[in-house]
Amino acid sequence: MRRGRTLLQLSIGLAVAGLALWLTYRRVPPGDLLDLLEDARWGWLLVVLPPLAASYVFRILRWMVLLGPVRAVRFRDAAFPLLAGFMVNSILPARAGEIVRVLLLSRRTGVPKASALGTVVLDRIFDGLTLTAMTLGCIAGLWSGLGAGVRLGLVAASAMYVFMLLFAVALRRWRGGAARAVARPLARAGLKRPAEKLESVLLSFSEGLATIQSGREVLFLALTSAGVWGSLALSIYPVFYALGLPLAWHYPVIVLVLAAFGMLVPTPAGTGTVHAALAAVLPAVTELTTGQAMVLALLFHATQFLPVIAAGIAAAVHEGVRPLEVAEAG
């Protein structure tokens, strides 16, 4: 059943990705894109790798801190599951890689799955909060030049992440009470079993949320989160240099924010949806033309995800992960 559902999700994700790519690039002659690529200085793309690798080092360090109160884990014990999980996230939609990450960590270190899953949720919340800060910065700096739809989307995304933070705080503080409050509407609607399952999942998450014990840990988590996204921003500059595109210091931040919006639609590695977001919005808020934004989207996507997929495959092989396990996790 799970394998069938995973295949269905993958098929739908690929269909959406293909449609998004077609809608994005159908009006631009391929020759125009090739002309822009012919003059690319490809050596600059190698400069993407060090800051991209640094972003994952920060991710691993952050996860180690979150796991610390549950069980101290070595860098490599956190690194292999995390890289394998991100590789799966880049191939399958619906964040199946998070489950793979939890299963591999539990198998490698004995950390309870429920606790590991809670730390992964909190890990993602810190990503969301950092992205929210970046989004708010873009709103403040570019508000007058943004269209109404873009403004609404940026504000909605920020509100969503703030809501996630408040909910995490409530779950951390009141645990069972917060979980029951969220599940209660389902129970009142006669969906008793889904309500019980939701409450159980939320209680499991709360175990991971309870791992933050001090203000010092919060500060370290905030700094490593800044390191993650700061490194990712630095990894985008070489793509601009490779293509000889107009560049201001905040353009890479805008690219990250728009890519995150594109990733909200569940396609493998945001394929198509990330390209559509960048191609549609970048020309309106930067000096890039539509063609330049489209080429940038292609190289940005490739340089961000192909190295991660390669590293994740190596990590998955090291951990002895089989395709069947990935399908069942999804």
d(CA 316, CA 20): 29
Secondary structure of the chain in the HEC alphabet?
A: CHHHHHHHHHHHHHHHHHHHHHHHHCCCCHHHHHHHHHCCCHHHHHHHHHHHHHHHHHHHHHHHHHHCCCCCCCHHHHHHHHHHHHHHHHHCCCCHHHHHHHHHHHHHHCCCHHHHHHHHHHHHHHHHHHHHHHHHHHHHHHHHHCCHHHHHHHHHHHHHHHHHHHHHHHHHHHCHHHHHHHHHHHHHCCCHHHHHHHHHHHHHHHHHHCCCCCHHHHHHHHHHHHHHHHHHHHCCHHHHHHHCCCCCCCHHHHHHHHHHHHHCCCCHHHCCHHHHHHHHHHHHHCCCCHHHHHHHHHHHHHHHHHHHHHHHHHHHHHHCCCHHHHHHHC
pTM across the whole model: 0.81
Domain extents in the chain: 29-93+215-329
Local confidence pLDDT in tens for the 330 residues of the chain: 456 666 666 677 777 778 878 878 887 777 777 777 888 899 999 999 999 999 999 999 999 998 888 888 999 999 999 999 999 888 876 667 888 899 899 998 988 887 888 788 788 878 887 887 777 777 666 666 666 766 676 677 667 767 776 776 676 666 677 777 777 887 788 777 777 777 776 766 666 566 566 667 778 888 999 999 999 999 999 999 999 999 888 889 889 988 988 887 778 778 888 999 999 888 888 889 888 999 999 999 999 999 999 999 898 888 777 665 555 555
